[in-house]
Structure 1
Amino acid sequence: MDEVLAGALRCGIYERLDYLEMLIADGDTTSLAALAETELARLSIAWRALLALHEPDERGRCTRCSGWRRGRLFPCSVWVVAHEHLIAANHHADATSAAP
């Protein structure tokens, strides 16, 4: 992928994320419900596709993050970030809301 195309791809993705964050911050209840209906499935599919690329091989190493000399032990940084944002963030929010 050339530099211009890579830059456009990166810019497009960040613009989409900025747009979604703006909708979340400023949207009314109806807009947020519509957003959840369309975007949650897309985000779930995207996470699954990304995680599938980083599944460990038979030696327990991430094939995408591994170099040719040595492998990156599972979990790689992609799985760690997924856990932080999809699991740990929920546990933190649950603990915070349960506090007196």
Structure 2
Amino acid sequence: MNEGWLPALGEQVKRYLAYVERLAGQIADTRGVELRRLVGAWRALLEVHAHSRRGRCRGCRRGRQLCTVWWVANAYFVRRLQPGEEETFRRFRH
């Protein structure tokens, strides 16, 4: 992620995941464990789809554009889709 706004997007997603991980740490039951598992899975997925020095997704090997993984992370973790927007988002991406 080395193009202008891409590092900022990556940082916002990382901050959100850290926030959720902190919340999960305050939950002493299975829900906290599962939230931490989801955060770990998202971090691993985003690492697989990190951009190379040439600006390409390492997982998808697409051109210099956001892959679907980063579109979803942006929509749900940064923009935080509002109720009803999910369907519009799905139609736009597929």
Query: What is the TM-score when the length of structure 1 is the normalising length?
Result: 0.48
Which residues in structure 2 correspond to 1:20-59 (within 5 Å)? 34-59=29-54
State the shift of 1:74 in Å: 3.8
Q: For 2:73 and 2:43, locate their aligned partners in 1 and report how far apart those are by CA, in whole Å.
A: 10
Q: Which amino acid aligns with 2:78?
A: I
RMSD of Structure 2 on Structure 1 (CA):
2.3
Percent identical: 39
1:85 aligns with 2:76: yes
State the shift of 1:53 in Å: 0.2
Q: For 2:65 and 2:54, locate their aligned partners in 1 and report how far apart those are by CA, in whole Å.
A: 9
Cα contact 1:56–1:74 (8 A) shared by 2: no
Q: Which runs of 5+ in 1 are unaligned?
A: 1-31, 94-100
User: Based on CA coordinates, which of the two structures has the bigger radius of gyration?
Assistant: 1
Q: Which amino acid aligns with 2:63?
A: R
State the shift of 1:33 in Å: 6.6
Structure 1 runs, 4 residues or longer, greater than 4 Å off: none
Q: For 1:36 and 1:72, locate their aligned partners in 2 and report how far apart those are by CA, in whole Å.
A: 38
Aligned residues: 57
State the shift of 1:73 in Å: 1.5
Which residues in structure 2 correspond to 1:58-97 (within 5 Å)? 58-66=53-61, 71-89=62-80, 92=82
Q: Quick check: which one's helix share is greater?
A: 1
Q: For 1:74 and 1:55, locate their aligned partners in 2 and report how far apart those are by CA, in whole Å.
A: 12
